[in-house]
Amino acid sequence: MKKTGIVRHQVYLEHRTGIMHPENPQRLQAIYDMLDQRDFGDAFVPIEPRYATLDEILWVHDSRYVDRVLDSAEKARVQFDPDTVSSPKTYQAALMAVGGVLEAIKRTVIAEVNNAFALIRPPGHHALRDQAMGFCIFNNEAIGAHYARKVHGLKRILIIDWDVHHGNGIQDAFYDDRSVLYFSVHRDQFFPWTGAANEVGVGRGKGYTVNVPLARGGSDTDYGNIFRHLLAPVAEQFEPELIIVSAGFDTHYDDPIGLMKVTPEGFARMTTLVLELAASLCEGRLVLALEGGYNPQGLRDSVEMVLRELIGQSRIDKDQMQHREDTHYEKIAETIDWIKDIHRRSWKF
């Protein structure tokens, strides 16, 4: 029986941003402690990460920017932008974060594991071609999509981003590219101030960027309904060969940044819906990469619930959650109809 792959490594804890920085090693340590303390049986397969190669990084990033990251090696501190700093081992962690995602994709595509979760840092979805941004150094998921195409020959990759922040770096990487469908649900009028509903792609990529901005306070039922009534019909028409999730947990109700209302059960529900899409569309090929989440306890509990779904040890009542979504559909119906109207020329609803 194939199992769930897990990417973890101590080097990710060596990216030291400072104890008061939201994206600090303690958030990942909380997840690693949970993995060691909970009983998951023998459901996990360790995936050893590797350093991404320079050629792989250059699929997405400008060489001068990459040189700047490498030049930070062993320096006490480099300030890449107001939110993004380095420590002496940051360049190693960043290269290994990309490599961890690539190894997770490899093991999933060649069917050594059913699915995989790369528990990595620094995160990646804000990183632009020529600059770090929003705690992100290299764009882990964007490089992963290129890897799936260039190395494994896949033609269609779906990236789902449920972080509270819009993944502007992923969007920019594929804005004119119809081989990668980027679907983002994020808080409206919030950092990085991108991800408006009318940002739909350009040229051949028009319609292959789907942004769903939400007001503050988005809940489990909101996300469940968006996944069922927007994501599912688009994904079914796109027919991805691999699904990558930019898995941020800063929509958790106790997160100090996000100010949304998603519970650990809500993250499990989103995972279930994505697992169903992966099973029906791409032979179950699903890779999650850790992004945000700045309340260590909330992050730990939510990641555990996601992992339980991935390994078939669900702790949620799916029928009850779907009933709640149906009951509260009117709360999000206007947003769903708005996004459908924007994309009717590209997708059938």
Residues annotated as catalytic are: 126
**What is 113-159 written as a DSSP string?**
SSEEEE--SS--TT-BTTB-BTTBSS-HHHHHHHHHHHTT----EEE
The CA–CA distances, whole Å, from 303 to 32, 36, 81, 219, 230 equal: 10, 13, 28, 17, 24
**192 CB-near residues (< 8 Å, 6+ apart):** 126, 133, 134, 165, 166, 168
Tell me how far apart the alpha carbons of residues 65 and 87 are, in angstroms, rounded to a whole number: 17
Tell me how far apart the alpha carbons of residues 70 and 87 are, in angstroms, rounded to a whole number: 12
3-state secondary structure 174-200: CCCCCCEEEEEEEECCCCCCCCCCCCC
The CA–CA distances, whole Å, from 86 to 73, 80, 83, 165 equal: 9, 8, 10, 21
